[in-house]
Structure 1
């Protein structure tokens, strides 16, 4: 295999003289030893299963992975133990990822500690194991295409990309003989190519990863025509990027998780292209994709959990992506410095997306494999991102913000299978707290995601007749930096939804107009952290029995009230007062609901009216306590 043109080990060793990099090397050495002591065996040959099953069915949180415990899996919240299928299969999937991570560590450590042969041996033995045993893994067709070592085509593709990159990282170490390289080609890369390539048929994050896996195979097999097809073909890199993003460079699935996930796939292929003297890093849409989603980050760095987005993800978690881009886009370097200045040291990240956490912090925020392998040797002084109101018109997101408040209006188009179909929903951030938010998603394999996270009533919006919105488009009617109005005319059949938000110094005005072709049950809902306080004459209400999230609401109280009224949400650090204009026949319902999982409890208010047309008008004031 040819030596890499894009990994400069001289610069890596130069960085290793800096405290953050040497501390990273020490942490990787310890993690390497912990791994081989806990798992001194070959990779598992047992069937793997979807990682989305590795969640507590009661709490909705991810189970704690322990590589010494393949048959008992514990919830970190309630401490319940889960056994059998699918948990054992999901454990196998995560175990393969842990082995890939350890090979990445070994590839770096083999260059830093050249006299220690154990790192080269670990790479040698594990890659040859996968090559010699690849035919023993059965083909499974689960959720996202066909896989073998992994349960689906998506993670199989990322696995293939990681193996090629590890081979490329270690090509100068003479780990494999020519006959062993031939075995890897014939027994691993060619069968993997035959498995993955026929599955590519969409503009989609999964197919972007699969195409990058095809490019990885092409690079190892030195097939120039195959590489060009992966870049320029119908579902190649260029079309995935250009057809899959809005004019602002936002991936069409909108979710921060899938936006950056797809960006990682595109970067994986871009590095392979650069190995072959094709520079895709200069594509202007790639730069927009990298920079414009950053605008959506809240002042504390958190990213909105739109659609199937994982809650509590942070722009600061994406430093490994920006390290890869920093040498191609100079404006990223001072932003990287700002990120590192504002984050606490976290477990270091790996280069692959099978799983991306190390087990140890290093004491330095910059310590990651991306920074070590691809990042600049030095960074300039920090420059924080500019905070001002903005409109992503083609994407369908408007942000109104001042020094204390931010209201985000989401009216995005059809985001595909990961869309939560929540046209004209809002989020509220105030005084350094995200107080009313999109709950995002949790594991796809548990009921909570369907029963709550993806339901319409889990979002701050209007629901018609208790039904979810259909896939649809919306449009902005006006925007001036202080106010925005958006209209969704086909989210429900025969219904027009029009919402206007006006940002003020200490609050916002919200006017939500609804027009239906026939009389309908119209529910306006808002969720917020904190306890509810009101003078309304509330009495207990029987639980909802219908689905679409309504049966997940609890501790219900209600009243019928025709006049204007105020409801307050009190939480540590702020008070939110909502003053509603009255309308005859309004049922006011308050209670509790879930947030990102069943351990995250929010309060909510719902206004229910049966009308053909109505307007919900309220003024919100938020004060710091």
Structure 2
């Protein structure tokens, strides 16, 4: 254990663990639910989990109390995830203290799930299934080559099969969560095997790991992050039960096929999400660890892990924060996924690319940003997983050069210099987790976030469909207040160093939309434009993650009691203040944090609106500029300029 990086308060952990152990109980008849339902339906806040209130769940923002089954079942899932979290801490404490109560709790939990696994109901997100008939039917049709599914164009349903590729669970509410729970149980069990007698080990093997492996294998019929987690779990369970064979990685829909078809040449996971990229990387890291533990290896797996880890470092802004194309969580940074990099570093101690990526994560000065839903514990630069695994090697960090890069396979552009970082998303590779965000841009100035993407909240929240995953929630161009074609195409051309233009003809029928981004030492220029054959209402939207800011150049702001457009979206839950800009020649804004001056110009007539809108998390606000054009074309240029040098948070001219 690297004590220099470990700031765990063992006394506090013991107190929490002892209290949890004293009251812990589970019941195989309890059905788990979807944790994304544990968000407020009204404002998207994560509900307050109270271990003593399985049937009452309070929103911390608006105070609404939920008692419905969706929330109750999600409570069960949270309780079981906390059980696995405490199981991990018990293994750590048992290693340090060797006290009987920790060994007893470890045995109690693992043997409970082994002895009762067959009793848990088969269910998916609160829906009980009588059997696995339709999953058996899919497997038979796959074997007969009667059916095949394309994960890139899927709409999450498949013909007349009454299935979903999230799959059912038993302990958890879906196959994905089931696989993750089983992996975490396996990891803890692997670390404490001597605590179990030969007879108990046989019970665990035949009553839990074997049946769980068979249960999950019925659910594999597509390549996706969900099925990758299940496939990783299947191979880990085979290692644990002595039935693993290296050729299993080559089987249809197996690990190698997932990597071959799912990993882009740039090293980015095909679903185009920073969070799901690391989600997949975590799964692969677990497999790498168990293979290493059992004296096995796989070069394709190791190469993929190294490429994915390196891509993570390259795509981050220089302040360590990630951009957020597609579904994910807001504000995440490299240290958010510290446990993933620890897992990789232990699994591949001799891989220089992985070790350097891990060292880069440790070198970040920014504090770790937690995920709204996470089951890991962190102390400084160490996670509970890192403590569980033991000594994590640390390579000497190498400073990353400031470097722009275009990733055409991933449809991502990152422009960087010493002052600005500009991120542009210009395409979608798959419908899975995609957002209605064509040509969305994100921007940092002097290390400060000026414009970020909203990303997402829990998928079960109504606010996702009304605000977070809509064109209006992004920095984009909207035609006639309608959704764009989510699988649009585009072409990008380089006009010079750090000067790009991207164009698309199929975001909306009959409309050509373009965005140009030019970066210099002191200025970023972003031009959004649209050309159409018939008249349209054309909106150019730009959000800022700063308070409302207006300086000289804007003549008059007229307060609005309500926003006169997007009536289904821009209600008081989304818009807190609204203004119409009148008599403007040039709209000029100023951000005192970064020292940036932002000016908007257009040669075409437009109506300008300034809105204070809800951010993510919903306790944050965003400043939104919306320019409305009516006609055959629109063009709006945003110039972001910094003059002087930043020192002590102030701009020196």
TM-score (norm 2): 0.84
Separation in structure 1 between the aligned mates of residue 279 and residue 361 of structure 2, nearest angstrom: 19
Deviation at 1:262, TM superposition (A): 0.9
Q: Which residue of 2 aligns with 1:8?
A: none
Q: Which residue of 1 aligns with 2:481?
A: 466
Q: Which residue of 1 aligns with 2:417?
A: 402
- Judged with a 3 Å threshold, the aligned counterparts in structure 2 of structure 1 residues 548 and 202 are, in CA distance, closer, same or farther, namely farther
8 Å CA contact 1:489–1:497 kept in 2: the answer is yes
- Judged with a 3 Å threshold, the aligned counterparts in structure 2 of structure 1 residues 263 and 128 are, in CA distance, closer, same or farther, namely same
8 Å CA contact 2:92–2:387 kept in 1: the answer is no
Separation in structure 2 between the aligned mates of residue 72 and residue 367 of structure 1, nearest angstrom: 34
User: Is 1:267 the equivalent of 2:251?
Assistant: no
SS at match of 1:511: strand
Any unmatched runs of 5+ in structure 2? 126-163, 644-649
User: Is 1:99 the equivalent of 2:83?
Assistant: yes
**1:526-575 Cα shifts (integer Å, max 9, x gaps):** 111222425244445542454674554453333576x8422314454534
Separation in structure 2 between the aligned mates of residue 234 and residue 622 of structure 1, nearest angstrom: 54
Q: Which residue of 1 aligns with 2:146?
A: none
Q: How does 1:173-572 map to 2 (within 5 A)?
A: 173=194, 175-225=195-245, 228-229=247-248, 231-274=249-292, 275=294, 277-280=296-299, 283-326=302-345, 327-333=349-355, 335-343=357-365, 355-358=374-377, 362=379, 365-374=380-389, 378-470=393-485, 471-478=487-494, 480-528=496-544, 529-533=546-550, 534-541=553-560, 542-544=562-564, 546=566, 549-551=569-571, 552-553=574-575, 555-558=577-580, 564-572=585-593
8 Å CA contact 1:540–1:557 kept in 2: the answer is yes
1:117 to 85, 90, 100: 100
Q: Which residue of 1 aligns with 2:620?
A: 600
Separation in structure 2 between the aligned mates of residue 216 and residue 390 of structure 1, nearest angstrom: 37
SS at match of 2:44: coil
- Judged with a 3 Å threshold, the aligned counterparts in structure 2 of structure 1 residues 550 and 477 are, in CA distance, closer, same or farther, namely farther
- Judged with a 3 Å threshold, the aligned counterparts in structure 2 of structure 1 residues 219 and 517 are, in CA distance, closer, same or farther, namely farther
8 Å CA contact 1:391–1:398 kept in 2: the answer is yes
Deviation at 1:339, TM superposition (A): 3.5
8 Å CA contact 1:479–1:485 kept in 2: the answer is yes
8 Å CA contact 1:532–1:569 kept in 2: the answer is yes
Separation in structure 2 between the aligned mates of residue 473 and residue 347 of structure 1, nearest angstrom: 33
Deviation at 1:166, TM superposition (A): 2.0
**1:469-497 Cα shifts (integer Å, max 9, x gaps):** 22223332226442111222322223222
Any unmatched runs of 5+ in structure 1? 1-14
Separation in structure 2 between the aligned mates of residue 246 and residue 74 of structure 1, nearest angstrom: 42
**1:445-490 Cα shifts (integer Å, max 9, x gaps):** 1111111100101111101111122222333222644211122232
Once the two structures are overlaid, the 10-residue window that deviates more, 89-98 or 333-342, is 333-342
- Judged with a 3 Å threshold, the aligned counterparts in structure 2 of structure 1 residues 503 and 545 are, in CA distance, closer, same or farther, namely closer
Once the two structures are overlaid, the 10-residue window that deviates more, 162-171 or 512-521, is 512-521
Deviation at 1:257, TM superposition (A): 1.0
8 Å CA contact 2:323–2:423 kept in 1: the answer is no
- Judged with a 3 Å threshold, the aligned counterparts in structure 2 of structure 1 residues 503 and 345 are, in CA distance, closer, same or farther, namely closer
Once the two structures are overlaid, the 10-residue window that deviates more, 299-308 or 454-463, is 299-308
8 Å CA contact 2:306–2:353 kept in 1: the answer is no
Deviation at 1:608, TM superposition (A): 1.5
Separation in structure 2 between the aligned mates of residue 450 and residue 113 of structure 1, nearest angstrom: 49
Deviation at 1:43, TM superposition (A): 5.5
Q: How does 1:608-619 map to 2 (within 5 A)?
A: 608-619=628-639
Once the two structures are overlaid, the 10-residue window that deviates more, 129-138 or 330-339, is 330-339
- Judged with a 3 Å threshold, the aligned counterparts in structure 2 of structure 1 residues 391 and 572 are, in CA distance, closer, same or farther, namely same
RMSD (Å) for aligned C-alpha atoms: 2.9
Once the two structures are overlaid, the 10-residue window that deviates more, 299-308 or 478-487, is 478-487
Q: Which residue of 2 aligns with 1:12?
A: none
8 Å CA contact 1:564–1:579 kept in 2: the answer is no
Q: How many residue pairs get matched?
A: 595
SS at match of 1:269: helix
Separation in structure 1 between the aligned mates of residue 530 and residue 390 of structure 2, nearest angstrom: 51
Separation in structure 2 between the aligned mates of residue 44 and residue 599 of structure 1, nearest angstrom: 38
8 Å CA contact 1:322–1:336 kept in 2: the answer is yes
Separation in structure 1 between the aligned mates of residue 260 and residue 602 of structure 2, nearest angstrom: 46
Separation in structure 1 between the aligned mates of residue 565 and residue 492 of structure 2, nearest angstrom: 36
Q: Which residue of 1 aligns with 2:148?
A: none
2:178 to 127, 134, 156: 156
Separation in structure 1 between the aligned mates of residue 242 and residue 495 of structure 2, nearest angstrom: 52
Separation in structure 1 between the aligned mates of residue 628 and residue 256 of structure 2, nearest angstrom: 48
SS at match of 1:416: coil
8 Å CA contact 2:338–2:382 kept in 1: the answer is no
8 Å CA contact 1:406–1:430 kept in 2: the answer is yes
Separation in structure 2 between the aligned mates of residue 209 and residue 548 of structure 1, nearest angstrom: 37
- Judged with a 3 Å threshold, the aligned counterparts in structure 2 of structure 1 residues 159 and 564 are, in CA distance, closer, same or farther, namely same
8 Å CA contact 2:344–2:354 kept in 1: the answer is yes
8 Å CA contact 1:468–1:548 kept in 2: the answer is no
**1:237-288 Cα shifts (integer Å, max 9, x gaps):** 1121221122101112222111100111122223333325233476433211
**1:381-438 Cα shifts (integer Å, max 9, x gaps):** 4433332222112111111222121211111323323111312111111122111110
Separation in structure 2 between the aligned mates of residue 443 and residue 83 of structure 1, nearest angstrom: 18
SS at match of 1:469: coil
Deviation at 1:520, TM superposition (A): 2.0
